[in-house]
Amino acid sequence: MTRLSVNINKIATLRNARGGNLPDVELFARDCEAYGAEGITVHPRPDERHIRRTDVYALKSLVQTEFNIEGNPEPEFIDLVLNVKPHQVTLVPDAREQLTSNHGWDTRAHQAKLATIIQRFKNAGIRVSVFVDPDPVMVEYAARAGSDRVELYTGPYAEMYDNDPQRAIEYYRSAAEKARDLGLGLNAGHDLNLRNLPDFIKAFPWVDEVSIGHALIADALYLGIQETIKQYKYALSNSN
């Protein structure tokens, strides 16, 4: 069964807009778990515009399911992750000023650098996932660098899906199969939503985990977070 990790960055963005503690990020994470989320994801950025370092430390002792920290492995990020020791770290090559991640690693060009960083995290007992575009060569070099998993960047999937769902699936097939054939774990994330998620999981039922933030939080404005998580989990269970 594919697991649902809820990315709670947007909750921190809303909180930060007013300076107080509303909504309460920690309470929200706990409630997501109580409503069935199987993981909590955060993406701390150097400017702390949404999740802050203090949130990451607080969440570590709260999260009962799987804690996933994603981000660009600059020295500050590496120290944070090694101190917090989440279950999983997802390495993302996003620039400091980038609005949101919009591409995966060139794992071939950065193989040596990634291998060193991955080893440090693995030595600390943290599972490592590397964010990649749906390219089997990038998947292969992530494996060569020692990664445990890859996370396929599904932004292009979501964009293609609206016009041509079958083409969107085929665009991801060789990368998803490569991960499976190499024995790598497979995660997916970015722009997944209740409409496009079921077909992705039906096509690639070996996806271990999806991490979803933006659409899920937007859905919660209408449905409430409890019902929203229920619907995403239904979408996953009905597709596997």
Chain positions contacting ligand PXP, by CB under 6 A: 7, 9, 43, 70, 90, 92, 100-101, 131, 151, 189-192, 211-215
Beta pairing partners, 3: 209
Cα separation values, 11 from 35, 51, 100, Å: 16, 9, 15
Minimum CB–partner distance for residue 70 and ligand PXP (Å): 5
Residues serving a catalytic function are: 43, 70, 190
**Cβ 37 vs Cβ 64: under 8 Å:** no
Closest contact distance (angstroms) between CB of 41 and ligand PXP is: 7
Nearer to ligand PXP by Cβ, of 196 and 239: the residue is 196
Cα separation values, 69 from 122, 136, 189, Å: 14, 24, 13
Q: How far is the CB of 58 from ligand PXP (least distance, A)?
A: 19
* Closer by beta carbon to ligand PXP, 178 or else 190: 190
Residue 3: phi, psi to the nearest 5? -95, 150
User: Residue 20 or residue 239: which is nearer to ligand PXP going by CB?
Assistant: 239
Nearest distance from C-beta of residue 131 to ligand PXP, angstroms: 5
Nearer to ligand PXP, 20 or 48 (CB): 48
DSSP for residue 19? S
Closest residue to ligand PXP, based on beta-carbon distance: 189
Residue type, 55: D
Q: Give the strand pairing for 185-189 and 39-42.
A: unpaired
Q: What is the dihedral of CA 50, 189, 97, 109, to 10 degrees?
A: 140
Tell me the two tokens of residue 219: 């859905």
